[in-house]
Amino acid sequence: MLKIGYHVSSSGGFVSMAKQALDAGGNTFAFFTRNPRGGAAKSIDEKDVAEFEKISRANGFHTLVAHSPYTLNPCSSDAHLREYARDTFADDLARMEYVPHNYYNFHPGCHTGQGVDVGIDEIADMLNSVLKEEQTTTVLLETMSGKGSEVGSHFEELRAIIDRVELSSHLGVCLDTCHVWDGGYDIVSDLDGVIALFDKIIGLDKLKAVHLNDSLNPCGAHKDRHARIGEGHIGFDALCRVINHHALRELPFILETPNDEAGYAREIAMLKEAYKN
């Protein structure tokens, strides 16, 4: 069965998020662990979590893909921003343990002029200071489009980060279809080649989730502007090949397309229809 969901609103807690996912026909979801622009996180309501666990079991939910706030930059040239990223990340990881065994995805960061090698070292430094042996959460590095000074638009950069992290068994990768396309990986005419390259450089065992988005721009544009499924340069057929690819088909797919709830329900129905069971 296709594991699919979209990025739901987290303001109402876990039960509300599960209901949004179910209403759209999903069996997983993504959510911000706090306001995407940063700030204090709401305290975890253990009753809400317990009720959510029931709903999740009853409906066969799959691994959730939480998203860290966009504002965290573990490789900023500003030491205060690096410190803020580390503290927030550590706090989020502690909160994720209230819903154990899920994924926490983050944008590796922007090196803001320090150069990609310094960026890689600083991202790894942060991970080395926040990851804990006993955690059940797997932290996912997201593949990026290469906009501005983003680190992580080449598979080699993600590999270099993973190599520098001691507890790398707690790390995985989330492949964003819009981002890799914008980053120059042609998943339309050579999906097999891109997957083989990912396997060679990072290893398919590290690939844990997919952000399924179309792109408003051509391959290699480094823009990162998401389009609705089938309304961008990647197109519906190529995205159907992504969800059905033997190396990807068991992963959770998360829509981050510009849609309202009805739009997500439509895309989920379309993709379920296209999934070969």
Interface ranges with Zn ion (CB under 5 A):
224
Rounded to an integer, what distance in angstroms lies between the CA atom of residue 49 and that of residue 64? 13
Residue nearer to Fe ion on the CB measure, 61 or 181? 181
**Largest interatomic CA distance in the chain:** 50
C-beta of residue 18 within 8 angstroms of C-beta of residue 52? yes
Of the candidates 7, 67, 82, 228, the residue annotated as catalytic is: 67
46 catalytic residue (yes or no): no
Strands (E), 68-156: 103-106, 138-142
Rounded to an integer, what distance in angstroms lies between the CA atom of residue 219 and that of residue 235? 12
245 catalytic residue (yes or no): no
62 catalytic residue (yes or no): no
CB of 68 to Zn ion, least distance (A): 13
182 catalytic residue (yes or no): no
224 binds, among Zn ion, Fe ion, none (CB under 5 to 8 A by kind): Zn ion
Contact flag: residue 176 with Fe ion (CB under 5 A): yes
101 catalytic residue (yes or no): no
Classify residue 10 as left (phi > 0), alpha (psi -120 to 50) or beta: alpha
Residue nearer to Zn ion on the CB measure, 122 or 224? 224
- State which of positions 83-142 bind Fe ion (CB under 5 A): 142
Of the candidates 107, 111, 170, 228, the residue annotated as catalytic is: 107
From first CA to last CA, the distance across the chain in angstroms is 6
Q: Give 72's contacts (C-beta < 8 A, 6+ positions apart).
A: 38, 84, 85, 88, 89, 106, 107, 109
Q: Which of 34, 82, 211, 228 binds Fe ion (CB under 5 A)?
A: 211
Contact flag: residue 214 with Fe ion (CB under 5 A): no
Residue nearer to Zn ion on the CB measure, 67 or 95? 67
Rounded to an integer, what distance in angstroms lies between the CA atom of residue 232 and that of residue 82? 35
Contact flag: residue 226 with Fe ion (CB under 5 A): no
Residues assigned a catalytic role: 37, 67, 70, 107, 142, 176, 179, 211, 224, 226, 256
Q: Which residues bind Fe ion (CB under 5 A)?
A: 142, 176, 211
